[in-house]
Chains A and B, each alone.
Chain A
Amino acid sequence: MAEKSLTLEMRGITKNFPGVLANDQVDFDLREGEIHALLGENGAGKSTLMNILYGLYQAEAGEIKIGTEALHLDSPRDAIRHGIGMVHQHFMLIPVFSVTENIMLGAETDHRAAPNDSPLVRLDRREVARRVQQLSQEYGLEVDPKAIVGDLPVGVQQRVEIVKALYRQARILILDEPTAVLTPQEADDLFRIVHKLTQRGVSVIFITHKLKEVLAIADRITVMRGGKVVGTTTPQETNENQLAAMMVGREVILKVEKSPAHPTSQVLEVDHLHVRDVRGLEAVRGISFNVRAGEILGIAGVQGNGQTELVEALTGLRRCESGTIKLQNHDLTGKTPRAFTETGLAHIPEDRQRHGLVLSYTIADNLVLCDYYKPPFGLRGVIQQQSLDSHARQLIQDFDIRTPSPYIATGKLSGGNQQKVIVARELSRPVQLVIANQPTRGLDVGSIEYIHKEIIAMRDRGVAVLLVSAELDEIMSLADRIAVIYHGQLVTTVNTTAVTREQLGLWMAGAQPETTA
């Protein structure tokens, strides 16, 4: 088999951010019609490299060539002109615009024979919509050009992004963590689309940190770690363990060690809960379940199926329309977040920087964010600095928070250490229930392992744990029981030992469990 010709070549790419060498002499190449996976942990430098290729960042050193032509990519405009398209992890779509408007944005007159540069040129929505329709049929990417993007499910939004790149005649398509928001079945659909694209000569760069995916889809795999390329290989020459070791730099135990659970009394009881989302739509539609002391209940589901609203309701941050929430036999429905905390709730929130921390505060202050008013920290309305200090020093030691001092602004810590501050604060309190929502999202493997261990330790101490995660692997390895959420309802609840990934994937996509199963 003859080597396909080289289309893209990146040599010696170097990029510095304040304090971080994000890309250090990185080499990367892409052949025509191939799927080249770029594998690495969060923070390994994959996205930086691709943002350089897409013209969003400028490299300090190195060169980029397509064929024999050297490229100067000062902005995405240059990249687009050279046939490079990118589907970002967080979609770059404007929710209030229609599909057509999103696709024509920045390329408003490209459909005309002679493009017009006047800023006041009239938008030709109808003609662009027609072309979008054509394109989507050609590639099997079904989208309604008139739909408002914000109303579309994420899977469809992703298709809009791909059509957007194709509309600009992309020959090189970068997909940044494209399966993060998809069910396993939707991911399979995406893989089919990607293969169709490569058959037509499009080259695809597939960024991910999921090992199974890489082995399933890639022609070649390049692994990055700490801003450097560790190596390039093919699925035939490697396996999961080897890739994991390349990614992390040491042997990784892919399985979390844990003994069987010994659940006892009921701690959390949720009964027919209904909750509305920000837009007033019903996001949680009649959910009932319970969590017992000494077990981990995992909630599996694709993002945006009501998990956020469910957790907010269970922590007092969002009003319930109807139904009841009981914690330790206290009815807490409609109570304030403080009532929940005082009844024994620890909450590791989904968005740690938005909810869990005040980034401008010191570590010491963040460690008492929920307890500042109680003795020994607050006495008769006055903050007791000595108690804060000793508390902070103790937790920094116990939870291995890497910091030179308790009086550093928390925003200056790494993501992993920020999450440790939250975990330290929440798990060091006398609690009966831990609700952890996406506790390891965006963290490095070391921090992930640490947080997993802490969560299991809590369970073994007889605490009830509710774990919400979009990472199926995380749920499978931590949870004792798994509840699957789809469209605001629980599809089913099963024991982890009695279920397969594929079965969970089907339920996450809305399939109904068979009554006899």
Chain B
Amino acid sequence: MQAAAEKPARGWFVRLWRAFVEAALVPILAIITAVIGGGIIIWVVGGNPFAAYLGLLQGAFGSTRAWSETFVWATPYIFAGLAVALAFKGGLFNIGAEGQLAFGALAAAWVGYALPNLLGVQLPGYIHLPLAILAGMLVGALWGAIPGALKAYAGGHEVINTIMMNYIALNLTSFLLNGPMKDKNPLNVIARTPEIAESARLLPIFANLRIHWGFPLALLTAFLVWYLLWKTTLGFEIRTAGSNPDAAKYAGINFKRILVLTMALSGLLAGLAGAVEVTGLNYRQELGFSIGYGFDAIAIALLGKTHPLGVVLSAILFAGMRNGATRMQFLTQIPVDIISVIQALILLFVAADAIVRKIYRIKAREDRLVLTRGWGG
């Protein structure tokens, strides 16, 4: 009797563990393969791969400060990775996280530095900070909803449109940061906004460390995204629309509305990434800070198999690499850009998991991500 009573409990745990291992096996092997590949490249250009990787590890996880910095890097990565992953679940490819993030940051910064002056009142933190973050989320959502609406109602493919929106965001940000939103301080020569008010800042968790409350907020958001996708009817609709648009229409789901909503939610998460960067870390928006986040977010979402838990883990890994790379370059003179190469290799092996399965002789599973559904012209 006792054995029978124990069995389900063990079964539950073992099942979950097995599911995790099954899901994580290929990504982990992809990482290992890519790290080996990166090592070979370092060796070819005349570096010592072991020294380089040791430096990378030290820089990423070698001290409390290193951990703190890694989590600081991971914060926007988690938000942006979730943004891309959510869109993937809805069958959409959001290459526009970069633009949504930049505009979210811009909006949060504006609320942070200009709103109190505009209203002529000193806002308390519990109003000002949420307002700034909310502004970032809304602007990001809007920036994401535009390509969503163009796809739903005008047939413009989101891949090209989100990329175009990135360039538009980049140009507009340059314009705004060099002109209307530029810090008017005579000493300033950089294209950046003034500092945001104290009341609009996310505080550091510990004194002396830069890790701020944005990181726990990112973890909470990951949980919320998971809950939304798998436990709510809206999530059911998003996933159905993403897996089989025809079946979604058949099931009575308003496909176009869900499409726009998914892109808006995706943009909202990316905008949140920007808002948290501004309110928690930089306290201002500066030109060019967000370049590269879009592609990193795609890589993170794919490495995390578009699952929120996977996104969190991949984001911390990517953050660790970016963070540790500076120390690696300092110690071994290997340029930090090797990280981009390793990340591209990781993505290559995750996308083409058949390669990894062939190398390590693992049996194939059937489900695969399908995005290419023509240009919808």
Interface residues, chain A, CB within 8 Å of chain B?
Answer: 315, 317, 336-338, 341, 347, 349, 351, 354-361, 365, 369-370, 372-373, 378, 381-383, 409, 411-412
Contacts and interface: CB of A to CB of B under 8 A. Distances in A.
A351 B235 CA distance: 25
Contacts of A351: 246
A358 B232 contact: no
A265 to B, nearest CB: 25
Contacts of A373: 233, 236
B351 interface: no
Interface stretch (B111-119, B247-255, B261-269, B303-311): B247-255
B221 interface: no
Contact of B252 (A338, A358, A383, A412): A338
B241 to A, nearest CB: 10
10 contacts: A336-B254, A349-B250, A354-B246, A355-B247, A356-B247, A356-B250, A358-B243, A358-B247, A369-B240, A383-B231
A347 B252 CA distance: 12
Contact of A372 (B230, B236, B249): B236
A382 B232 CA distance: 4
A382 B366 CA distance: 29
Contacts of B253: 338
B232 A355 contact: no
A159 B253 CA distance: 42
Interface in B213-233: 230-233
B188 interface: no
Nearest to A374: B233
A382 B236 CA distance: 10
Given A355-B249, A369-B250, 7 more contacts: A315-B250, A357-B247, A358-B243, A370-B252, A372-B233, A373-B233, A383-B232
B249 A382 contact: no
Nearest to B244: A358
Nearest to B253: A338
Contacts of A356: 247, 250
Contacts of B254: 336
A330 B366 CA distance: 44
B29 interface: no
A314 to B, nearest CB: 13
Contacts of A341: 252
A341 B366 CA distance: 32
Q: How large is the interface on B (under 10, 10 to 19, 20 to 34, 35 or more residues)?
A: 20 to 34
B367 A354 contact: no
B216 to A, nearest CB: 24
B123 interface: no
Contacts of B230: 383
A34 to B, nearest CB: 43
Given A356-B247, A358-B244, A369-B247, A336 B231 contact: no
B234 interface: yes
Contacts of B233: 372-373, 378, 381-383
Contacts of B249: 317, 337, 355
A354 B244 contact: yes
A355 B248 CA distance: 8
Contacts of B240: 358, 361, 369
A347 B250 contact: yes
A360 B254 CA distance: 20
Nearest to B368: A360
Nearest to B230: A383
A418 to B, nearest CB: 12
B172 to A, nearest CB: 36
Given A358-B243, A409-B367, A369 B251 contact: yes
Interface in B186-233: 230-233
Contacts of A347: 250
Contact of A317 (B243, B250, B366, B367): B250
A338 B367 CA distance: 29
A339 to B, nearest CB: 8
A360 B251 CA distance: 15
A116 B250 CA distance: 51
Contacts of A337: 249-252
Nearest to A412: B366
Contact of B234 (A349, A370, A381): A381
Nearest to A338: B252
Nearest to B245: A354
A361 B236 CA distance: 10
A304 B200 CA distance: 64
Q: 3 nearest interchain CB pairs? A: A338-B252, A378-B233, A355-B250
A64 to B, nearest CB: 31
A360 B250 contact: no
A354 B244 CA distance: 7
Contacts of A409: 366-367
A351 B249 CA distance: 13
A344 to B, nearest CB: 13
A320 to B, nearest CB: 16
B296 to A, nearest CB: 27
Nearest to A361: B243
B252 A355 contact: no
A317 B254 CA distance: 11
Nearest to B240: A358
Nearest to B227: A382
A338 B232 CA distance: 19
A369 B247 CA distance: 9
B243 A360 contact: yes
Given A354-B246, A359-B244, A370 B251 contact: yes
Contacts of A372: 233, 236, 251
A444 B67 CA distance: 61
A35 B235 CA distance: 56
Nearest to A368: B236
A383 B247 contact: no
B374 to A, nearest CB: 14
B166 to A, nearest CB: 30
A317 B252 CA distance: 9
A360 B367 contact: yes
Interface string B266-302: 0000000000000000000000000000000000000
Contact of A355 (B234, B236, B243, B246): B246
Nearest to B241: A358
Contacts of A382: 231-233
A349 B251 CA distance: 11
A358 B370 CA distance: 13
Contacts of A361: 240, 243
A347 B367 CA distance: 27
Contacts of A365: 236
A365 B240 CA distance: 10
B252 A336 contact: yes
A384 to B, nearest CB: 10
A354 B250 CA distance: 10
Contacts of B243: 358-361
A102 B232 CA distance: 50
A504 to B, nearest CB: 30
A409 B366 CA distance: 10
Contacts of A411: 366
A341 B246 CA distance: 16
